[in-house]
Structure 1
Amino acid sequence: MDYSAAVAYVESLGKFGIHLGMERIQGLVAQLDHPERKIRTIHVTGTNGKGSVTTFLANMLQQAGLRVGSYISPHFVRYNERICLDGQEISNGDFAAVTERTKEALEKYLAAGGEQPTQFEFITAMGFLYFAEKQVDCAVIEVGMGGLWDSTNIITPEVSVITNVTLEHTDRLGKTIEAIATQKAGIIKPGVPVVTEAEGKALTVIRAAAEANHAPLYVYGEDFTTEKLTSFMEAQTFLYRLGEKEMEAVIHLPGEHQILNGAAALTAAEILRDKHGVPDEAAMLRGMAAARWPGRLERIHRDPDIILDGAHNPSGVTVLRKALDAYYPQARRLFVFGMMADKDVSQVSDILFRPEDTIYTVLAHEGERSEKPEKLAQRLHKNAVPMEDLTAAYRRAVGEAGPEDVVIVCGSLYLIGTFKELGLDR
């Protein structure tokens, strides 16, 4: 199987949709001799911030000299982005080889009467197999959706991280904060330390799950804290405190929410250091400073500033709006905006846009789930202009922007992926 055939095969699995549950992934990894049991892991879930925490942790462990895997989703352009080793996405050759071996295992599983896995379950098995074959020292694993019934939840990690918890995927995870927090708390394992940024009702659920599992719990604002020192698009500095420990960290991910994500990652790293002696403080600080995370307040150009952000839910765009207000309080804002039709467009619009903003609506992604530009413009209840072509909308926004203005391409991770696939970020 060559790379193109492997991608075509993985693509074909998309027709099986999304079905939460553990039987299929458990059956598949059993055929692969349980690669997930052969590696140390860190498990990360939450509504927002999963990817940032994953990249912070992976970078800290790399800086400590470890061989580190990371598993994320979704990808922007290539499936390879989901499975990384020491910060580099899996090569085409390795992707093809791992796909073929996982496909062989799947065929044995199906022949024995197993149920067809989903695409995400198949890629998850690929990731575990690849990390085991590469003999990673540790792999940082990001949950796909929820936690309890997510296919990544077959691991017993060294530490679990739950970032924030807000309403998301209510059709699958539940209609209330408590229900969604229950899904997130499903990654908590007996005796395994848990780090969380959650608060309110969500924290109550997580605290109860940690107590039931006799899992040590580290809560932001109680067990670890931060103090912002500086915050700019280029870099942020903050003081991190855990008990009597204190360190000053620099990160290059903008937005004050990233200080919380950085603190959660530092706390997880401290737990690992207590258990295994690594990473040390110097490696932690180098890793924090080295971390980059595309598609989240990612600035790709200056004068005018051009920002890509995949925020697609109310909590995500709240973070984006706060960052724009902090970093560009007086700038004219021009948006190239596309969303999926099943998202809360009205609430997102109310949070994100000001009456004076310029908005060009576009198709976020080729597919039935994407809201049509005309209908999206109507749903915004703003002075939005629908445009059929993303490239044309982007060039129009940039052409209208002055050197002190800011252009924001946002509304969907799918939109950012399409933008990058078209090469508009270069």
Structure 2
Amino acid sequence: MFNTYEQAIDWIHARLRLGIKPGLSRMEWMLERLDHPERRIKTIHIGGTNGKGSTVTFLRYILQAAGYRVGTFTSPYFEQFNERISINGKPIHDQELIELTNVVKPLADELDQTELGGPTEFEVITAMSLYYFAKMSPVDVVIYEVGLGGRFDSTNVIHPLVSIITSIGLDHTAILGDTYEEIAFEKAGIIKNGVSVITGVKQPGALDVIRSKALESNSPLYHLGDEFSTSSRESLNRGEKFSFSSMFVGFDNLETSMIGSHQVDNAACAVMASQILANYYSFMIEEEHIRDGLTQAYWPGRLEILNENPLVLIDGAHNEEGIIALAREINSRYADKKISILFAALKDKKLDKMIGTLEGAADQLTFTTFDFPRAASAEELMEAGSNSGNKNIAVNYKDYLDKKINELNKDEILIVTGSLYFLSEAKPYIVNVLENK
């Protein structure tokens, strides 16, 4: 039994050595012994390559504005591990995490000795979250973010009120497949019989895969651009404005507080989900709740402005699609500025394509690394790029930030981007440098 937070966290992280083990058999084994907590809670399931966390956030804020107590299960954490299991945006307490670890550890120890093998870190945390929301701190609804893929993800033991597949991109191809269609097949694994599914997927082949799975499952499909749509899109200084229409309702001049045209797609999926909850499950969600939720929604590390003048922002563009979206916003919003980008990433990403896109968006591109097992070195990032002359290396990113932030002028922008693990480490340091500038 664990008595301290450090002991509990160390045990959870020690499960990382088991890596990623697709399949639901270990989850089902644990949940049976926990008396099936997944059957005691109302859930919403959100998958997709990019936009999952933002869509979770938009929908959570809408539901909170309507007065609901909303649990969330998300990954990775940004500042504190406890964020992964939260209620109304507040992470669980350290003592609660200790209690949850003491509930799940005996099951993991027993499972270690079976032919199924021991549960992974993500499976352990998923089981903890289900037990927490069902038995320790009941909520009105829980929004579950898929960890990886969908079909064999440990969150796929839930039977949700509605499922959302935000987007499809070529990420985690070694596990999920090399084509949009193969990845869509894995993501579509979260579609359950008779459960409405919402998607913002754009690739025709990937959309066909999702449509086919929805048809097979007798699941009503709501596709952005068909069954619901956005119009009158406009970028604001700190957000986006758009109009929304669906078979249920239409709203003009909705505003988000999150920057990026891709956030309009994520917000629209969240609004559509709120309409399904209101019309089919008697959730009391009014227009004012949607407007308030979208404007209040905040998700750290997503085109987040840390300083206005000079402009310093961070963005967790951790894969090819994320980098493309970032470059699009740079080109549309800041074409008249000198752009300096600090970039760090994990080794298993498509570094050549990501860096190629950044080269076209940056006046100065600086590579660095950080203390993480799968982090690419600055030298590896440099080698993955072209031979253009606008690149250099920062051996120590803190030294770079100290110097760069103090040198910035009003015609320059500093963008720190790449791995979310890197941003979670760099953001507090950037804030500290800005405060002491």
Does TM, scored on the shorter chain, surpass 0.5? yes
| Corresponding residue of 1:46 | 48
| Corresponding residue of 2:274 | 269
1:303 is displaced (CA, Å) by 1.1
Q: RMSD over aligned Cα, in angstroms?
A: 1.6
Contact 1:362 1:393 in 2 (8 A): no
Task: Provide, for residues 105-151 of structure 1, a one-character-per-residue CA deviation record: whole Å limited to 9, x for no partner.
Answer: 32344456652000011011111111112111100000000000000
Are 2:420 and 1:413 equivalent residues in the alignment? yes
Structure 1 SS opposite 2:292: helix
TM-score (norm 1): 0.96
1:15 is displaced (CA, Å) by 1.1
Are 2:104 and 1:98 equivalent residues in the alignment? no
Q: Residue type matched to 2:402 in 1?
A: R
Pairing partner for 1:372 from 377, 380, 383 = 377
Cα distance in 2, alignment partners of residues 208 and 24 from structure 1: 29
| Corresponding residue of 1:18 | 20
Kindly tell me the number of residue pairs found equivalent between the two proteins: 424
Are 2:392 and 1:385 equivalent residues in the alignment? yes
| Corresponding residue of 1:151 | 154
Structure 1 SS opposite 2:245: strand
Q: Name whichever of 276-285 and 207-216 sits farther off.
A: 276-285
| Corresponding residue of 1:174 | 177
Are 2:347 and 1:344 equivalent residues in the alignment? no
Pairing partner for 1:239 from 243, 268, 282 = 243
Structure 2 SS opposite 1:221: coil
Cα distance in 2, alignment partners of residues 261 and 365 from structure 1: 31
Are 2:396 and 1:396 equivalent residues in the alignment? no
Task: Provide, for residues 36-67 of structure 1, a one-character-per-residue CA deviation record: whole Å limited to 9, x for no partner.
Answer: 11100000000100001101111111111111
1:188 is displaced (CA, Å) by 0.3
Cα distance in 2, alignment partners of residues 349 and 358 from structure 1: 12
Cα distance in 2, alignment partners of residues 164 and 112 from structure 1: 37
Contact 1:31 1:109 in 2 (8 A): no
Q: Residue type matched to 2:217 in 1?
A: N
Structure 1 SS opposite 2:429: coil
Going from structure 1 to structure 2, the CA distance change for 1:233 and 1:120 (only over 3 Å counts) comes to farther
Q: Residue type matched to 2:195 in 1?
A: V
Contact 2:26 2:119 in 1 (8 A): yes
Contact 1:334 1:397 in 2 (8 A): no
Contact 1:31 1:108 in 2 (8 A): no
Q: Residue type matched to 1:380 in 2?
A: G
Identity %: 35
1:342 is displaced (CA, Å) by 1.9
Matching of residues 292-371 of structure 1 within 5 Å: 292-354=298-360, 357-367=363-373, 369-371=374-376
Q: Residue type matched to 2:96 in 1?
A: D
Q: Name whichever of 182-191 and 270-279 sits farther off.
A: 270-279
1:77 is displaced (CA, Å) by 3.1
| Corresponding residue of 1:80 | 82
Cα distance in 2, alignment partners of residues 355 and 285 from structure 1: 33
Pairing partner for 2:60 from 58, 61, 74 = 58
1:228 is displaced (CA, Å) by 3.3
Going from structure 1 to structure 2, the CA distance change for 1:82 and 1:407 (only over 3 Å counts) comes to same
Are 2:221 and 1:214 equivalent residues in the alignment? no
Going from structure 1 to structure 2, the CA distance change for 1:210 and 1:396 (only over 3 Å counts) comes to same
1:229 is displaced (CA, Å) by 4.2
Cα distance in 1, alignment partners of residues 101 and 411 from structure 2: 47
Task: Provide, for residues 287-337 of structure 1, a one-character-per-residue CA deviation record: whole Å limited to 9, x for no partner.
Answer: 111111111101111211111111122111111011111221111111111
Are 2:229 and 1:225 equivalent residues in the alignment? yes
Structure 1 SS opposite 2:430: coil
Matching of residues 92-131 of structure 1 within 5 Å: 92-110=94-112, 114-131=116-133
1:280 is displaced (CA, Å) by 2.4
Going from structure 1 to structure 2, the CA distance change for 1:138 and 1:402 (only over 3 Å counts) comes to same
Q: Residue type matched to 2:158 in 1?
A: I
Contact 1:359 1:384 in 2 (8 A): yes
Pairing partner for 1:161 from 148, 164, 167 = 164
Pairing partner for 1:260 from 260, 265, 268 = 265
Note the residue ranges of structure 1 that are not aligned, 5 or more in a row: none
Structure 1 SS opposite 2:243: strand
Contact 1:240 1:247 in 2 (8 A): yes
| Corresponding residue of 1:33 | 35
Contact 2:38 2:158 in 1 (8 A): yes
Are 2:141 and 1:138 equivalent residues in the alignment? yes
1:359 is displaced (CA, Å) by 1.7
